[in-house]
Structure formats: structure tokens, C-alpha cells
Structure 1
Amino acid sequence: MPDRDPRRGDGDDFDWLYGPGDDATRVVGGPSSQPYGGPPYGPPHQQPHPGQPQQRPSDLPPMQFPDERRPAATPRRSGGGGGAGRRWLRPRRIIPLLLVAWLIFLIAVPVWAWGKIEKVDATPGGERPADQPGTTYLLVGSDSREGLTKAQRKKLATGNAEGRRTDTIMMMHVGGGPTTLVSIPRDSIVPIPGHGRTKINAAYAYGGPKLLVETLEQSTGVRIDDYVEIGFGGFVNMVDAVGGVEICPKQGIKDKDAGLKLKKGCQEVDGAQALGYARSRHSYATQDLQRVQSQREVLGAIAGAVKSPSTFLNPFRYAGVVTAATDSLRIGDNVGPISLGRFAWSLSAAMGGSGHNCTVPIADASVRWDKKRALTLFGYIKAGETDKITKAVCTKDGLPAR
């Protein structure tokens, strides 16, 4: 048996390990009670005094271990360093704000411009055709020089005539069938209420929009729902606002009266050239019949350019188009903004191949209407059956299909 450690005293040198009494030979605790590899109750200098109750492992307070959870993130301070104060600059926040601002802009510009449009009473009195399916618009291009300076009149070769006459007369029907655009040559001989038989453009000179609408309703049997008129200045400004349009004359044109000189073939033209092209007739053998076709060509080009995405994505172009369209525009006092927008949208459809565009049926180059064919065409429009219109009654120059 090994010698005792002389540094320990006599007596119960191992009481601190085994405990006194009958349990002296019982090992207290075990590996699980010695988490730190030392005695279960601590070193000798921390043992209870003999006679005092000793604590067992089950009586000890639970052990405290370091908290291994990650500390909560410290909130960023507002202000510098990319904190919360700059979160609104993130792309996912900026893009929706820009889209909302752009939508407001697209709506605000027409609303502002709407108040600048001149309203006129174009509703005739007396007996009129009954309500018909769809909506029929009367589009008038007047030769009004109102708002043009002396220099502009010289540049556009408009002359200095006062008042308004109708260089362009078109009826456009929008309904369940294909959109149908019909040109009425201004030299057409028709009965004008109170003025006998004469050229149709005289109706406007005699009685303004009301008499022109009444004359057309009595001659065609079609009820005119909405009236739209644009002058020389507005026409030119519209073309310039969209950056010019493409026209494709089939022959070279040199017309001093219209201030026009164009080569044959497709080409880009500005507002002044487009106006001259729409007015020119002396360079053609068919004169007025060719002019109405040129007018539809230019209007279709303008409508197509206005509808292009570049118009709505370019704020300067968009504002310029809307402003130009309203500066020289006159509409019936019953025409609302939705109806006017529908008119502009449908005009390009009629010219883009998805609708009909033609000249009122005529018998010969003297612009005498072919009564039978004309009544057939207008009968389809009255009934809202434009899907039944064929080339037999709808041709570009109004003459029978060849």
C-alpha cells in the first residue's frame, strides 16, 4: 500500500472524496457529474464543514453555457452610409414611381389640351335620319388661314382668302364591322337645302358645319354623329410634330398653286410639303379624284406615326403631337374626349388595311355620283353591315372596279 502523502493530516484524509459514514465506500457521482474533470463537489477548500449537509449533484443549480445564438442585427441609422433614409433610391422602388409619373403625364397632357379645343354646334335642326348602329364621324379639312402669319401663308402657298371652305370632306363609320372611310370630292354636285344643286363644299360656305352635316345626311341617308374639323395650320403642325411622314406619289409633281415640287416614288416630307401634296390637283388628269386619294394617304401616314410607340415614349414628341392636334381643331359640342380618341385610333385602322377606304361611287371623272352604287354603299353603313362592302361599291377613286 502506498505511503500517505505527508502533507495531508491524519484521520479522514479522504472524507472530502468519499464522504463519512456508511456511504464511505460508495462513489458519488460519475462521469456525468464531473463536467469539468474535477471532484464532484469542488476542491477541498470549498467543501462543507463536517456535520453540515452536503449538496448532491441534483441539488446544484443548472449550469450556464455561453449563448451560441447570433446577436440581433443592429438597426442601421438613417442618413449617410446607405441606411434606411436611402431605401427609396433602390431600383425596385424607383421603377414603379417612374411608371406612375409617366402615366400621370400621359393623362395630364390631353386633359390640359382638351380645354383648348374649339367647340361648335354642328347638329342640324329639322328631320334627321334615325339613330343607326355604330358611330359615323364627319372629318372636314378646312382651308382656314386663321392663326397663320403672313410669312407662313407665303411659305405654305395658301393665299390670303378669308373665311373657311372645305378642301377635305370624309365620312368614317366605326362599328361592329370593318372601319370604313369614304371621301366626298369637294366638287360633287348635290342638292344643298335652301340653295339648290351645286358643289358640296359650298354648303359649308353658306351655313357652316350645320348645313354641311344636313346636306350629307339628306344625300346619303347616313346619320352623322360626331363632327371633327382641322385647319391648314393644325395639319402642318401635326406632320412636323411626328417628325414628318412618308408619301409615295406615282408621278413627279410640280404644282405652283400648292407650292409643291416632288419627285416620283416614296419619300419623307415635312408639314408644308404634306399639305401641298394633299391640296394639289392640277398635276393630275383626274384632278379632284386623285386629290382625295392623296388626302387619305397623308392622313393615314399621320395616324400611323401618332400611334407608334416612339410617340408615347418621347415626352417632347407626345406633348408636341397633342398640342398640334388641338391648336387648330374644331369639334362638335357633343363630342367627348373618348369619342375623339376613338376617332384618331380608328382612322389609322381604316388606312392600315384592316378596314375600307374609298371614294364615294361616281359615274365618271366629272364627279357625278353613281346613284345606285352610292346608295348601296351608304345602305351598308346605315345598317352597320360594313363587312358586306366589296370593291363593287368601294374603290379608291370611286370609279367602277376595272
Structure 2
Amino acid sequence: MNDAVTSSLTDALTDAFARHEDDVPDAMALRPAIAAGASKRRARRRRRWAVSSGALVLALAASLVFTLRDPSPPAPQVESLVDAGTPDISNFLLLGTDRRPQSAGDTVRADAILLLHVDPDTRTVYQLSIPRDLVVDVPNFGRQQANNAYVFGGYELTARILGDLLGVGIAGGAVVDFDGMQRVTDAVGGVDLCVDQRTVSIHLGVDDATGRAAPLHPGMRPVVYEPGCRHFAGWEALDFVRQRQSLTNGGDDRDTHLRQLLSALARKLGDPVKLAKAMPVAGGALDLHLGDMSLPTLAGMLARYDAAHVPGLKLPLRADRTIVPGGDGLFAALRNGTVPEWAAAHPQFVS
């Protein structure tokens, strides 16, 4: 390109910029607008993360239930007896089994049982504790404790029996064992729990030589959890929520502690960094039963629910561990979508 052409182009560009210069805002004046726009974009990204994070928290933390060892004699293992049935997307069944790496081949029971009920109107997820010693009818095996249903037919039979008992459809759920739960709790750096009554462990004792906790043997001092709020490592949290013998209301208090642990995990998993650490561990710890529904799909359903507020519910039970007919209105509330109203009218069953 010769000098004349270059000069002509230069003059044309100079004239063009000069004509539009008055229409261009001063750069300093643009900075507040640019900063405001960037702030809005960051806020939108945070909101999108909060939605997806909250969904994963619920999908993950709701599945992180923990096993409570059942000392009753083993029952024979047989094939699954029934199909899961047609689900209702409002309810998910969460089971914690007593399977442990060192007890391969032993009979496995579902000793922590939670029904997760989602209420779209209040955007609340409720935890309904199902006592492991609840008396239920198991096809071909008669009256049994609820946790024995897993022995006879795994997750599918347990879901079918409890769904029929409560009169609700169950969309799916998850199963986790002792080792998996502890690994996930450790992955998020432990949890903060409040001990409501002096709790004495029947599983762990203090090793006087090392000052550390170890499996309880004769002559050892048991680990004791004194009332108060503090941070729990994974092994402490799981041992604490396993205890019932030293508690005022036995298994009912233990179920309350389990619900507290679930809520504490939900709060920890609200931190994106901790969530990222937990997800790889949870992938190997959970046995999902979602039918045709994937975990991301479930997360999408739960995206608008409050992961940090997960109220607990207790079944209205007789002294013989059978349910009051109709669950004193709870079953109808589960079917009709009126659990918040039922909970407000029956605070004695809410924790």
C-alpha cells in the first residue's frame, strides 16, 4: 500500500472517530456502570450456583443416612419378592444398612429408615423417621420388624411395604452403609452437633495408652458425649447417633439425633467447596434406587427447596410399636399435600 493511500485511510479514520467522539461517554463515567453490570453478572452466577448446589445438597444429604447395628439374630436371605410399584415424586425412601467391610457375608438389615417428603407449596423437605422396630406385615414371612424387610427383599420390598403402610407412592431413594457415611462426613470436615443429654457409647472406649477411641472392651472407659454444642469428627458423629441405651427415650431419641446429623450435613454441603469434596466420595458410598430418574433429574426437582431447613417428623405410635390407625391424620396429610398444616397442629411429633 503506497503512502498516499495510507494517508487517505488515516485521515478517514481520524475524521470518523472525531465525528463520534462526542457521542462516546467518558471512560471514567463508564466505570460505575461497568462495575454494576459485572456485579449483576456475578450475582446471577451465585444464584445459579446456589440453586444447583442446594439441589445437590438435598439429593446428596438426604441420601446420607447412617446404619445402626441390629443385634437380633440373622434371618435367611432370599430373592427380592416384589417390584417397587408406581412412584409419587413427593416421597423418597432413604435406608442405612448395617453392612460393614469387616462383616462380609453377614445378614444385612436397614436399621436407619427415613421417608423424605417434599412439599412444593412451602418449599420444605420433611424427614419422617420410621423406627426400625416398627411392626409390619412382610409377605410370606408374617409380622416382622421393619428393618427385616431389607433382609427378605432389599430396597424394593422395603419401599413397597412402607409405601403400602403409609398409603403413599415412593419415587425412589438411596441406601448407604456405615463406612460410606463416615467417609462422607469426614470429606466435609466433620459436623457441628448439639448433645441434648449425656450419652454413653456402647461401641467405643478410651484407650488409656494412647488416649484415643477404640472398640470397647471389658475394662475400658466408654466414650461419653456430654451435653453441649461442639464440632464432631466423622467417627464421633456416627458413634453418637448410634447410641440409644443411655437415652431417656431410647430409639426415639436416637432417631432425633440422626435427623440432626442429616440437617448438619445439609448445612455443611451448602458450602460449594465442601460439596465438591463430598461428591466423589458420595458417588462410591451411595446405592441409588431412582428407577428411570437420574440423580441430576432429582436434583433439578429439588432445586427450589431449602436444604438448610429439613424438619423432622415422628410417627404416632402405640406402646407396642404399631402405628395409630391412620397415623393420627399424618397419612392423609402425606397423600393430600397438607403436611405443613398437620405439623403445625401436632408439634409434639415435630423436631
1:360 aligns with 2:315: yes
1:292 aligns with 2:255: yes
Q: Equivalent residue of 2:203, what SS?
A: coil
Instruction: Choose the corresponding residue for 1:271, options 234, 243, 247.
Output: 234
1:328 aligns with 2:285: yes
Q: Equivalent residue of 1:266, what SS?
A: strand
TM-score (norm 2): 0.66
**1:388–1:123 CA distance, 2 compared to 1 (3 A):** farther
- Map 1:182-201 to 2 at 5 A: 182-201=128-147
Residue 334 of structure 2: aligned partner: 381
1:165 aligns with 2:109: yes
1:348 aligns with 2:303: no
1:176 aligns with 2:131: no
Confirm or deny: 8 A CA contact 1:246 1:269 kept in the other structure: yes
1:319 aligns with 2:273: no
Distance 1:384 1:271 in 2: 35
* 1:80-103 superposed Cα distances (whole Å, 9 cap, x missing partner): xxxxxxxxxxxx9xx9xxx9xx99
* 1:99-133 superposed Cα distances (whole Å, 9 cap, x missing partner): 9xx999xx9xx9xxx9xx9xxx999439x5x765x
Alignment-mate amino acid for residue 314 of structure 2: T
Q: Which runs of 4+ in 1 moved over 6 A?
A: none
Residue 395 of structure 1, CA deviation:
3.5
Alignment-mate amino acid for residue 256 of structure 1: I
**1:190–1:136 CA distance, 2 compared to 1 (3 A):** same
Distance 1:286 1:397 in 2: 15
Residue 94 of structure 2: aligned partner: 139
Distance 2:349 2:339 in 1: 16
Q: Equivalent residue of 1:248, what SS?
A: strand
Distance 1:345 1:144 in 2: 34
Q: Which structure has the highest strand share of the two?
A: 2
Residue 292 of structure 1, CA deviation:
0.5
Q: Equivalent residue of 1:389, what SS?
A: helix
For this pair of structures, how many residues does the alignment match?
270
Confirm or deny: 8 A CA contact 1:169 1:183 kept in the other structure: yes
* 1:318-362 superposed Cα distances (whole Å, 9 cap, x missing partner): 4321012211101114331234425698583552xxxx4211111
CA-based RMSD of the aligned residues comes to: 3.8
TM-score (norm 1): 0.58
Distance 1:192 1:254 in 2: 34
Task: Give the unaligned 5+ runs of structure 2.
Answer: 1-10, 15-34, 64-78, 205-214, 216-222
Greater Rg over alpha carbons, structure? 1
* 1:210-260 superposed Cα distances (whole Å, 9 cap, x missing partner): 110111012111111112111112211121111111111112222122664
1:206 aligns with 2:187: no
Task: Give the unaligned 5+ runs of structure 1.
Answer: 1-68, 73-91, 151-158
Residue 187 of structure 1, CA deviation:
0.7
Q: Which structure has the highest helix share of the two?
A: 2
Residue 155 of structure 1: aligned partner: none
